[in-house]
Structure 1
Amino acid sequence: MSEATRDDETPSAGTARGQYSLKSGDTFVVCDAFGDIRGGADGLFHNDTRMLSEFRLDLGGKPPSLLSAAISHDNVLFTSNLSNKPLPPMGERATPQGVIHLERVRFLWGARLYERISCVNYGDSEVRVTLTLRFAADFRDIFEVRGTPRARRGTLHAPQVDADAVALRYDGLDGVTRCSVVCFSAPPDRLAGDAAELALVLPRLSRTELYLEVGPERVQPSRERFRAAAAEARRAMRKRRGHGARPRSNARLFNNWLERSRADIALLVSDFPTGPYPCAGIPWFATPFGRDGIITAMQLLWLDAGLARGVLGYLAEHQARETSSFRDSAPGKIMHETRKSEMAELGEVPFGRYYGGVDTTPLYIMLAGAYAERTGDEVFIDRLWPSLTAAMGWIERTCDQDPHGFLTYAQGEKGGLLNQGWKDSEDSVFHADGTIPPAPIALVEVQGYVFAALRAMSRLAERRGDEDAAEHWRHRALAMRKAVEELFWDEELSTYGIARDGRDTLCRVRASNVGHLLYVGLPKLWRAKKVIRQLRTAPFDSGWGVRTLAMQQARYNPMSYHDGSVWPHDVAFCAAGMAHYGEREDAVRLLGETFEAAVHFGMRLPELFCGFPRATGEPPIAYPVACLPQAWAAGSVFMMLQACLGIEVDGRRGEVRIDRPRLPDGLDRLTVHKLDVGGDTIDLGFERIGARTVAFRAGGSMDVRILAKV
């Protein structure tokens, strides 16, 4: 995630035993392959508070053996298949290893965890065994879990134990009482405040089931409740996955990647009154973030404009209206992050509603402009217009404070973010010798976003008939392009520097930020070609995608968060930027590299992974505390696929423009099913014929124009 600086003490989520995540609304769970919650970063969380910090299962006093673990294709069910280790005798003889099959099936729905534990005895005689479930709730704020210390906490009450339920309760300093009630479908033989024991008698081939629920109040778990809630959860997920067009190819593995990515985005989407919004990632960022929501919506815009509409509506509603150095807010600024946790509510951290992202506001305007082009939805843009002009007002006021007209940032107060671009770790912006530059900082890609936002506002104003405003913003866009070309280009490096600092000195560092500059189309063609040539080279291209920082640069570390790692969404920006300048084969190559990385990660791309050079026979190396799943990592395939196919959808004109499409390697055919174009729907086909890829109407409305250039 780019949203908060990582701490060396940030715990890892299930690294040794695997990490498995589920989410529903404001509730998510992270466990290991056994289905166990063991502390660290594991837990059942609701509204950024850990409601279960331990949930471990033993069989006969021993942890079971793992057979397999998986998340269902629709991201609703987690299943762990386990077996017994050799058990001591509870009668005439001991139970040998591998005769008891233990299955844990779990899902979330309605702020509750549902679980079914099934035991089947495949031995040659009756088995007696004790099943033990250990549980605890520390009710720690997610910032505490990540390592932020607190001077004091609220009151953790002693567990309240009944025959078939245990209530765990915490009174927060914010005046909110938080409860986790662990409920059993049958009374355990022994139930204490931290453990339940069930003495099972398992005849051969018999099946015994236990149903558990964990939620804010006591209920009576049952098979019927489990089945009914699971059906509701799956229906809701199907509805979310059903939005937008669906690409499908002739390659099974590639289709698996597409479907897993769609499922991950659907998992992370929360429904608000303003519409759907993709939360950023699990475990650390399972909440709305401005930048992440915008970029994910951009990645999906050509397929699903509804997500962009939901993101724009939510961010307009949460736009800053006051100035606060603690929250880094100012009127017109777009939200960076929102939290509901105890520490956020008390102001112990500024992230209850935090605005410390310098790029979120121009990205918001970029998305609005792209949404208008994609859909022709002038009514929604009219409703959004006061928010857009307020956002542009903040940008212009801030740019006017810089002698060159750049959009800069500086940390508001301690506790907020030191760096406020997408690379927001404390060491991600530096000079060629590795020294940290003084604020205020002007990031190169942020100026590109401002350039694109000004152009978007100019086009929107022109359509509204406001020629004066359109000309004003058009003039500022040209001035921004001129300033970036003059003050960020470094002829010796043959690329753009990463930033200018508070002393008006260029940070002469080769970094992937320039890929974002290509994406918005700011560089002159001959300079863009030089940048693209660098991004192709081994110092940048790891073989699994473009590194955030080129090798041999100061602070380069392939295991770092932002200084040499590979971020799939960043690779997607680079690929789309290369395609913007006609280098579509580069987009194909980067999509291929990212796909091969996805195969090694089980078709679920993490937030980032290490930037070590690709070695024959070796997989990409995981970054230990990466979010998984993560929205803009899942969305990267769709941005890169659009770059390869050269698709632009114009809903206002009712046409699809296709510029020199290329199919990724290994694909001969691809169809985009049910693509909405200005209210009409078409199926768009692509097929490789010799060295060319041709596009054609595969079905749907004949009213949509297809303008294709081979």
Structure 2
Amino acid sequence: MALEITVGPPVITINYGNTFLVSEFDGSITNASDQGLYSRDTRYISHYQLYIDGQPWTLLNSAEVTYYASRTYLVNPRVVTEHGEIAPAILGLALSRVIAEGLHEDIDIRNYSCQPLHFNLEILIRSDFADIFEVKAKEFTRRGHIETEWKSDSQQLVTRYSHDDFQRSFIVRMEHGTSKAIYGNGRINFVVDLPPGGNWHTCCKYEILEDGFLHAAPKECAHALYRSQTAHNLSRWKQVTTQITTSNEDFYRLYRQSVEDMAALRLPRGGEHRHEILAAAGVPWFVSVFGRDSLIVSLQNLIVYPDFARGTLQRLADLQATEIDDYRDAEPGKMPHELRSGELAHFRRIPHTPYYGTADATILYLIALHEAWKWLGDDLLFPHYEDVVWRCLEWIDHYGDRDGDGFQEYQTRSARGYENMGWKDAGDAVVYPDGSLVKGPKALCELQGYVFDAKLRTAEGTEYFGHAEQAARLRKEAAELQLRFEEQFWCEDLGYYAYALDGDKRQVMTIASNPGHLLWSGIVRPDRAEQVVRRLLKPDLWSGWGIRTLSERNPAYNPFSYQNGSVWPHDNGIIAMGFKRYGFAKEVGMIARDISEAASHFRFHRLPELYAGIRRRSGTFPVQYLGANVPQAWAAGSVFHLIRAILGLDADAHKKTLYIDPALPDWLPDITLRQLRVGQATVDIRFWREGEATRHDVLAVTGDLKVEARGTPGVKKD
């Protein structure tokens, strides 16, 4: 029997909305680490440890039981007290945590010995109120003042942070305790007396006061977590999202976990629009509004929950830049990259208020708007965002094209700006074939494909609403761009497209995954598509666990790096969509198999943001990237793109039609989608392999919808 190998981040993470907790497996939060309880970019617990008479408890086991709750089982070490010795492992401690806007923690202790026991339980809690940017950089500067107050009567520990008008408070409430707490020397202490078989309990509620608003802990104890409001919301989410069944258990578990991860990463728009949601990029580093990430997640979720796009489109429209601001890399019409709300952003020590250092979010906004319109069938979308659309187009033609050559380029003007502004935004991610850093301004290949796609999509929308002249102009601009792109980016010697044009307009002939996005956008000339597909699947790019970000032949290649040789699930999902667009169905199945089988090795079948690009061989397994966000939105959403590519799903809600072009690979012999929504209608549809062919059966339709099989407009059919 094969050994089952499970990998994952070496921490416990639970989250809800803007609040999350990262701890050791034993529940502790170690000093001088990036662990802690965070909310809205501020860390509220920087050090946590449970002690029995000054000694830490011993871990047995722990796990997240759902995305918003964890449980840890501990036993006592050998302890010598003034009342005598306590033998090891005769006290069991269950530490249960449930998170919402605050954190509810239950501590339950049982005496499993035949003698009464008397000891001290101590909870060490420290708060540094550090900004998440400083935590990540490991460069923390204390600016404000911290004061702590213990309120014995109400059993509350209140810690306040004040720096001019930036003020935060952290409140620890001890409730329902078997014995009362006292506070001293930075620790909350309980005297515990337990008869044989006796139990001891206390609730610790951790709450946050921010700008006069209390972010309260859940009322329910851990034993009631499945009756909580969070559990109800999750149940409702599963009811309104598309569900699948399949005989491939690993693929089913990946999909189910991805749907739950999307629930975990939902952020309300805020204010009176709290019912509208968008996706946080990932935990722990990117629990915030992200332009590129939220838009791609909206695209991925069209077959799962198409309304995801509504909150994203509106929130980003609200933040669309109206002026030039070099510090924030802002220009009129530009969509934001990242919005932060911590101390550094409050005092504008970082440009994330919001920061606009993204070259693709403005373009992707148009693509997401069009796709949402097609799937939702909402004719109010385009008119509602008409001004936003024209500002996006104006930015693309004016500011996105820095030198007027018809291509998109980027280069920061901010002292705190990002070197790279495509999806590969690490400072070392864009390299020449010799591994050296590319000189800017940089015209990434995929940016040109995105613009081509965005203009064609916007043309369709504007024509639908009676603007034929504008639609014709946009189509003409897209056609001209395609011709220029082929002339300037195609590398005949490589049989592949250039990674980018550098600041001197020279081709960067680096072999990377980016040209796979060109297939998704449709800018690739049909007679060159197969060369691109074959190059992406050569062993230096294709690891067997997915397509790497960079060829292993490049001197800068490092399988354990962030973007120079690692595998990103969302990148592979987009590439699979491109393969399907050009008719390479067999190759879609190859990518989907890689990502699915990689996911089967990760804890809970949960895909991380990225993993190492090591080559797959007998006896190997995917390797966790330390620091990867888990859960992460577009990693979770990658399986939705893979399903869409395998089944050839597309929609036109105005024509009340779901289009399909299914080609199930042999490792996925059947799949049934239930409650797949197009416009106001839903459909249940089963697909299965019959020999080499894929059949389908429409099981149920609610509303007015037809299912139409059609071939994708590719250049090749298997």
TM-score range, shorter chain: over 0.9
**Other-structure match for 1:235:** 232
Instruction: Give 3-state SS (helix, strand or coil) of 2:87's partner.
Output: coil
* 2: CA distance, partners of 1:196 / 1:477: 66
Contact 1:451 1:522 (8 Å CA) reproduced: yes
Contact 2:104 2:218 (8 Å CA) reproduced: no
**Other-structure match for 2:322:** 321
* 1: CA distance, partners of 2:655 / 2:125: 59
Contact 1:340 1:352 (8 Å CA) reproduced: yes
> Among 168, 173, 178, which residue is 2:168 paired with?
178
Tell me by how many angstroms 1:23 deviates: 2.1
Tell me by how many angstroms 1:157 deviates: 2.2
* 1: CA distance, partners of 2:229 / 2:261: 18
Note the 1:485-504 alignment, pairs <5 A: 485-504=486-505
Which residue identity lines up with residue 269 of structure 1 in the other structure?
Answer: R
Q: Deviations over 1:499-554 (max 9, x none)?
A: 11111111110000011111111111221111111111210111111100011113
* 2: CA distance, partners of 1:338 / 1:587: 35
Report the RMSD for the aligned CA atoms in angstroms. 2.3
Percent of pairs with identical residues: 32
**Other-structure match for 2:614:** 612
**Other-structure match for 2:132:** 142
Contact 2:546 2:595 (8 Å CA) reproduced: yes
Which residue identity lines up with residue 156 of structure 1 in the other structure?
Answer: I
Aligned residue pairs, count: 691
Tell me by how many angstroms 1:168 deviates: 1.1
* 1: CA distance, partners of 2:509 / 2:413: 26
Contact 1:128 1:201 (8 Å CA) reproduced: yes
Which residue identity lines up with residue 644 of structure 1 in the other structure?
Answer: I
> Among 30, 43, 57, which residue is 2:36 paired with?
43
**Other-structure match for 1:53:** 46
Which residue identity lines up with residue 162 of structure 1 in the other structure?
Answer: S
Tell me by how many angstroms 1:241 deviates: 3.8
Tell me by how many angstroms 1:189 deviates: 4.9
1:653 paired with 2:655, answer: yes
CA 641–219 in structure 1, closer or farther in 2 if over 3 Å, else same: closer
Instruction: Give 3-state SS (helix, strand or coil) of 2:655's partner.
Output: coil
Instruction: Give 3-state SS (helix, strand or coil) of 2:309's partner.
Output: helix
CA 474–18 in structure 1, closer or farther in 2 if over 3 Å, else same: same
Tell me by how many angstroms 1:664 deviates: 4.7
Which residue identity lines up with residue 124 of structure 1 in the other structure?
Answer: C
**Other-structure match for 2:708:** 707
Tell me by how many angstroms 1:243 deviates: 3.1
Contact 2:669 2:688 (8 Å CA) reproduced: yes
**Other-structure match for 2:537:** 536
1:627 paired with 2:629, answer: yes
1:130 paired with 2:120, answer: yes
Tell me by how many angstroms 1:20 deviates: 2.0
TM-score for the superposition, normalised by structure 1: 0.93
**Other-structure match for 1:551:** 552
Which residue identity lines up with residue 177 of structure 1 in the other structure?
Answer: Q
Tell me by how many angstroms 1:160 deviates: 4.2
Instruction: Give 3-state SS (helix, strand or coil) of 1:626's partner.
Output: coil
**Other-structure match for 1:336:** 337
Contact 2:682 2:703 (8 Å CA) reproduced: no
Tell me by how many angstroms 1:225 deviates: 6.9
**Other-structure match for 2:715:** none
**Other-structure match for 1:9:** none
Tell me by how many angstroms 1:135 deviates: 0.4
* 2: CA distance, partners of 1:664 / 1:84: 52
Tell me by how many angstroms 1:422 deviates: 0.7
* 2: CA distance, partners of 1:189 / 1:319: 51
* 2: CA distance, partners of 1:219 / 1:30: 18
Contact 1:132 1:195 (8 Å CA) reproduced: yes
Instruction: Give 3-state SS (helix, strand or coil) of 1:663's partner.
Output: coil
**Other-structure match for 1:265:** 262
Which residue identity lines up with residue 216 of structure 1 in the other structure?
Answer: I
Note the 1:367-382 alignment, pairs <5 A: 367-382=368-383
Which residue identity lines up with residue 101 of structure 1 in the other structure?
Answer: G
CA 655–392 in structure 1, closer or farther in 2 if over 3 Å, else same: same
Which residue identity lines up with residue 207 of structure 1 in the other structure?
Answer: N
Q: Deviations over 1:461-509 (max 9, x none)?
A: 1101111100111011111111111111111111111111111111110
Instruction: Give 3-state SS (helix, strand or coil) of 2:292's partner.
Output: helix
Contact 1:683 1:699 (8 Å CA) reproduced: yes
Contact 1:663 1:693 (8 Å CA) reproduced: yes
* 2: CA distance, partners of 1:419 / 1:283: 22
Contact 1:161 1:192 (8 Å CA) reproduced: no
Note the 1:414-563 alignment, pairs <5 A: 414-563=415-564
**Other-structure match for 2:208:** 216
**Other-structure match for 2:570:** 569
Q: Give the unaligned 5+ runs of structure 1.
A: 1-14
Contact 2:8 2:624 (8 Å CA) reproduced: no
CA 342–241 in structure 1, closer or farther in 2 if over 3 Å, else same: farther
1:101 paired with 2:92, answer: yes
Tell me by how many angstroms 1:57 deviates: 1.3
Tell me by how many angstroms 1:36 deviates: 1.6
Tell me by how many angstroms 1:193 deviates: 5.4
Which residue identity lines up with residue 239 of structure 1 in the other structure?
Answer: R
Tell me by how many angstroms 1:645 deviates: 1.2
Tell me by how many angstroms 1:55 deviates: 1.7
**Other-structure match for 2:598:** 597
Contact 1:591 1:664 (8 Å CA) reproduced: no
Tell me by how many angstroms 1:390 deviates: 0.8
Q: Deviations over 1:315-334 (max 9, x none)?
A: 11111111101111111111
**Other-structure match for 1:3:** none
**Other-structure match for 1:114:** 104
Contact 1:82 1:103 (8 Å CA) reproduced: yes
Tell me by how many angstroms 1:665 deviates: 4.5
CA 700–45 in structure 1, closer or farther in 2 if over 3 Å, else same: same
> Among 70, 90, 95, which residue is 1:78 paired with?
70
Tell me by how many angstroms 1:251 deviates: 3.0
Instruction: Give 3-state SS (helix, strand or coil) of 1:157's partner.
Output: strand
CA 674–145 in structure 1, closer or farther in 2 if over 3 Å, else same: same
* 2: CA distance, partners of 1:608 / 1:571: 11
Instruction: Give 3-state SS (helix, strand or coil) of 2:608's partner.
Output: coil
* 1: CA distance, partners of 2:216 / 2:236: 29
**Other-structure match for 2:396:** 395
Which residue identity lines up with residue 42 of structure 1 in the other structure?
Answer: Q
* 1: CA distance, partners of 2:548 / 2:190: 52
Q: Give the unaligned 5+ runs of structure 2.
A: 1-6, 712-718
Contact 1:184 1:220 (8 Å CA) reproduced: no
Which residue identity lines up with residue 585 of structure 1 in the other structure?
Answer: K
CA 663–56 in structure 1, closer or farther in 2 if over 3 Å, else same: farther
Tell me by how many angstroms 1:253 deviates: 2.9
Tell me by how many angstroms 1:152 deviates: 5.8
CA 453–233 in structure 1, closer or farther in 2 if over 3 Å, else same: same
* 1: CA distance, partners of 2:113 / 2:217: 29
> Among 80, 84, 100, which residue is 1:88 paired with?
80
Tell me by how many angstroms 1:293 deviates: 0.3
CA 221–239 in structure 1, closer or farther in 2 if over 3 Å, else same: closer
CA 522–415 in structure 1, closer or farther in 2 if over 3 Å, else same: same
Tell me by how many angstroms 1:150 deviates: 6.4
TM-score for the superposition, normalised by structure 2: 0.92
Q: Which moved more, 1:146-155 or 1:673-682?
A: 146-155
